[in-house]
Amino acid sequence: MSKSNLTPIRRVVTGHDANGKSKVVWDGPAPGTHEVSMGAGRGHIDFWVWNEAPPPLSGSNDDGNLPYDFPGPPKGGHLRVVQGAGRAIDYAVAKDPHLVPPHPIKEHPLGRRWDRGGTTSHSGGMHKTETVDYAILLDGERTLVLDDGEVQWAPGDIIIDVGAWHQWKSYGPEGGRVVYDMIAAKFVDGPAGLAQGNDKIMRADNVKLPPGVKPARRIVCMDREPGKSCLVSDGPSPDVHIDPARPGYASQRMWVTEGTPATIVLETLHLPHSIEPPPNGSVLNVVTFPPDANWQGKVGAREVEAFFKNMGSPNASTYSAQAPHPYMQKTRTLEFGIVTEGELVLVLDTQEVTVKKGDFVVQRGTNHAWSNRTSKPAVVAVATHDGADD
């Protein structure tokens, strides 16, 4: 991985034409590039920023260019990718110009962010933000450091950071790229930011996945006592929806936020939201799409209706015999789709666009469907936020 330049990432943003039909508005490298925002070899790329909840779904401005102060807007959030540097083979701590030794807790002047030091050329400092973060390792290698231990993760794994003290570091020379959907949260006990309530943590004890579907790993961390982060759960998603009409389809749910600012709680998958999030909230799913050839010609209005009803969003379907895809859907949501495996075609009212592993899609309340025209399953992580019409 380059230590001098950020790797460009394709971003497809959808919108509506003058007739209200869905279309692509922007397609190209995400514009919000910050080369060395966190030191040499550690920069980030902004994809989308929203200053209020629910975020707007229209407008001619590219909200990937909006400024913000980390950890982001106090009533909204932001989506970005951080490129972390690797650990040099000949690394010597005594010669590290980026070294910041561990120190007592310091609060950032702007608030909502606390730091305990520990920064090196290949690791960020131990820090805590008043946010709930959906983090996905795109590629490379990064290690999550908590107060009670370290967590190794692989590309495609998802970490749900619920306001926890944490640190990111690399042990190898490659480094890694991580996408963060950072959502403003609210600590009810000041800087401690402890998990509230006693919700039962769900496990995937009796979950069975369709053939060909890989389990989506869910890693949840938070603070259960002041100043000490811990690993709350680590395993396959405990909540899976399938579609009998599409063998090999699976939507594996990861987390739900009930509003913005989000609450700091132990579990959220007991909530019913799957396709559509709660008001001002969000829901994160990892969706596996089997090849369309496996089910084409066998799905009609009845099968589509049953699917959306089972997902809890019967009104999301825009099925018609004339639609470009049987599973066309439209919801009042801002949706971030990150292709983590394979290739898909994003089907819109007026056009189609092929997206591949590593591509990002920002959908602003647009009618769409995902079509897999290859011979292998494709996987997309979808973070869906409640949105606001004009």
pLDDT in tens, 85-112: 999 999 999 999 999 999 999 999 999 9
Q: Dump pLDDT digits (tens) for 322-360.
A: 999 999 999 999 999 999 999 999 999 999 999 999 999
* Rounded CA separation 286/250 (Å): 8
pTM of the predicted protein model: 0.96
- How does pLDDT run across 47-78, given as a tens digit for each residue? 999 999 999 999 899 999 999 999 999 999 99
pLDDT > 80? residue 141: yes
C-alpha 139: how far from chain center = 14
Pairing of strands 333-341, 282-289: unpaired
Task: Mention every residue, 6+ apart, whose C-beta is less than 8 A from residue 111.
Answer: 130
The vertex-170 CA angle with 164 and 175, nearest 5°, equals: 115
Tokens for 108?
């950032």
DSSP-assigned beta bridge partners for residue 194: 223
| Domain ranges, ordered by start, for the chain | 10-386
- What was the pLDDT predicted at 1? 36
Angstrom CA distances, 175 to 34, 139, 281, stand at 17, 9, 32
